Structure 1
Amino acid sequence: MTYHSGSRAVQDRVGVRDLADHVGRSIGQGIRPVAAAFLELQPMLVIGAADPDTGAVWASLLTGEPGFVRATGPHRISVRGGPREGDPLTAALAIAGTAVGTIELDPRTRRRMRLNGRSTPTARGLAIDADQVFSNCPKYLQRRETYETVERAAVAPRHGSELTSSQREFIESADTFFIATVHAHGADASHRGGNPGFVHVTSPRELNWRDYPGNSMYLTLGNLTADARCGLLFLDWTSGAVLQLTGRARTEFDGEGERTVRFTVEGVVDAPGASPLRWGPPEYSPANPALS
């Protein structure tokens, strides 16, 4: 794994460069058979990219029957279908060569897999040629053992430039969200989790969260150091509502080694019932820190 200057800056500030080099050896370009099998069991995929017209970075949810995502070779996956109508990444995913980051998360097993590369539209959806493939530890993943699929609601998404009171309440009750970031040569998608309340909304256009210790590679924070644009995706696991935010983020370091990410909202897409998946109640990760 070759880190760019943004990740190196964060690794050096935290003092984990050697550990990051060791962990980075787990990142490859190939999709192993166990990873291919994992992909085919999942009913959802989170994908992040930048809008080609505005430059705004968004994270979106793709869903389908298990098998809708599958490996078609050692370096490529195919996705049957695409973003829902009105999704902010529709234009980006219609262009060949778009840099994308993806994360496949299975709440039933607390496993996740990340694959970053370039997407190409196909007759049935899209294909992604992998540049980076890796799995991560199950920290901060909430277990949800069951789900069912219902018909997707045909409700037009609501657009805005700041958060409403109900959206603020929804974010502050979340135990999981996804974050898409970009850098000069690609994109990345990851997740953040914690006990409800770990995300704080301080105004209609500002929110923040504490950055919990992870794999020490600092891909997300490194990307934000190099390019502040990012997209957040919040899911209502029981109703299927999808809340997407785009904006910019910065990381603050305190004197005790803790980090806080502060996000400024620039765009909001609120799509009630956009996901057909309905998940059971969460079992919170034992790794979640207590809220202060």
Structure 2
Amino acid sequence: MNSPFHPGEQAIQARIGVREQVEAMGSRMIRDHMPEQHRLLFAQLPWLLVGSLDGDGQPQASVLWGKPGFAHSPEPSLLRINARPEGDDPLAANLRSTVRLGLLGLEMPTRRRNRMNGPLVDNDGEGFTVAVQQSFGNCPKYIQTRDWRWEARTAGPLEQGDGPDPRWLELVNRSDTLFIASQHLDPETGGVDISHRGGMPGFVQRGEDGRLWLPDYSGNQMFNTLGNLLLEPRCGLLWVDFASGDLLQLEARAEIFWPNQTGSGTPPDLPGAERLVALTPGRWRLRRSRLPLAFDTAHPSPFLPQGH
């Protein structure tokens, strides 16, 4: 029987001693179609997180938005998205035939989230359609609840550069949420994932060497993202300014840092982290005042590590 997990995921599961039980769990949870509750969730959302690959195989993390129902499932094996990315979103150039995408439906008021990935099967002037390769739910552990409302915005400029920059570090330093896109390269079973990461404000810290240190807390132990990064360190990060609608899209290279590991710099002390991911910043885009949603003050997840 084929495993739902690729060698990178399996290696990390084995390293921490959960391989057998997670294999059994994954075989039950990970489907090649969306159950009805997942289909209904996507149709309720005003936004959708999307992971894609550029022409060089660099993962990118993006967000699309629309009136609830803009993302909907006409049948269990398909998800239709009636939205087009803005021209300066990397996703605009990445929607090519045969491309694989990772999708995350996240309902922030309820902390529900479902993931789906698969190949692009239709792409037209109104939007695009993705076939289900893998569909599964994620635990709500580190999601901050936020109510949302529509907010009319005048789109601001695109700012861009390479490496750490004060123009975006301030957002990172106060954020409690980010999204990370990663990939597995196998030509038959590989794909793109986009995943949520959350913590106390400032949970991602900048080290003395300029890298960003992301804590990896106890989760579902499937290690989809870390398994990808073990085999392919390139990733795409997205931060959302929930007040202004600014969107920061950052390319990075990741190194997984295990407890008591040496030779990878001096990691910061991040309470509750079982592992750390050191992210070397690369090219970035800061798209000002783009997301036409405003979010109320966050109610922190009760599972967040304290003492940060």
Instruction: Confirm whether residue 230 of structure 1 aligns to residue 235 of structure 2.
Output: yes
Identity of aligned residues (%): 36
Alpha-carbon distance in 2 for matches of 1:55, 1:188: 13
Alpha-carbon distance in 2 for matches of 1:190, 1:177: 8
Q: TM (normalized to structure 2)?
A: 0.90
Alpha-carbon distance in 2 for matches of 1:80, 1:205: 39
Trace 1:258-273 onto structure 2 (pairs within 5 A).
258-273=274-289
> Is the CA contact (8 Å cut-off) linking 1:163 and 1:204 kept in structure 2?
no
Alpha-carbon distance in 2 for matches of 1:104, 1:88: 19
> Is the CA contact (8 Å cut-off) linking 2:4 and 2:30 kept in structure 1?
no
Question: Which residues of structure 1 form unaligned runs of 5+?
Answer: none
Q: Secondary structure at the match of 1:222?
A: helix
> Is the CA contact (8 Å cut-off) linking 2:32 and 2:77 kept in structure 1?
yes
Could you tell me how far 1:108 is from its partner in structure 2? 0.6
Alpha-carbon distance in 2 for matches of 1:55, 1:153: 32
Once the two structures are superposed, what CA deviation does each residue of 1:190-234 show, in whole Å capped at 9, x if it has no partner? 110011121002268520111001111001000001111100100
- The partner residue of 1:37 within 17, 36, 40 is 40
Partner of residue 281, structure 1: 297
Question: Which amino acid in 2 is paired with 1:260?
Answer: L
Partner of residue 178, structure 1: 179
- The partner residue of 1:63 within 65, 77, 87 is 65
Question: Which amino acid in 1 is paired with 2:34?
Answer: I
Alpha-carbon distance in 2 for matches of 1:223, 1:153: 37
Question: Which residues of structure 2 form unaligned runs of 5+?
Answer: 262-272
Alpha-carbon distance in 1 for matches of 2:209, 2:170: 11
Alpha-carbon distance in 2 for matches of 1:242, 1:157: 10
Alpha-carbon distance in 1 for matches of 2:209, 2:237: 15
Alpha-carbon distance in 2 for matches of 1:204, 1:38: 41
Question: Which amino acid in 2 is paired with 1:236?
Answer: D
- The partner residue of 2:248 within 243, 250, 253 is 243
Q: TM (normalized to structure 1)?
A: 0.95
Go from structure 1 to structure 2 and tell me whether the alpha carbon gap of 1:168 and 1:199 turns closer, same or farther (over 3 Å shift): same
Once the two structures are superposed, what CA deviation does each residue of 1:51-91 show, in whole Å capped at 9, x if it has no partner? 01x33211001010100000011110100112112101211
Question: Which amino acid in 1 is paired with 2:97?
Answer: A
Q: Secondary structure at the match of 1:140?
A: coil
Trace 1:79-158 onto structure 2 (pairs within 5 A).
79-93=81-95, 95-119=96-120, 120-145=122-147, 147-158=148-159
Question: Which amino acid in 1 is paired with 2:157?
Answer: A
Question: Which amino acid in 2 is paired with 1:106?
Answer: E
Partner of residue 253, structure 1: 258
Once the two structures are superposed, what CA deviation does each residue of 1:259-283 show, in whole Å capped at 9, x if it has no partner? 1000111111001111111111100
In angstroms, what is the RMSD of aligned CA positions?
Answer: 1.6
> Is the CA contact (8 Å cut-off) linking 2:99 and 2:119 kept in structure 1?
yes
Go from structure 1 to structure 2 and tell me whether the alpha carbon gap of 1:157 and 1:203 turns closer, same or farther (over 3 Å shift): farther
Partner of residue 265, structure 2: none
Partner of residue 12, structure 1: 14
Q: Secondary structure at the match of 2:227?
A: helix
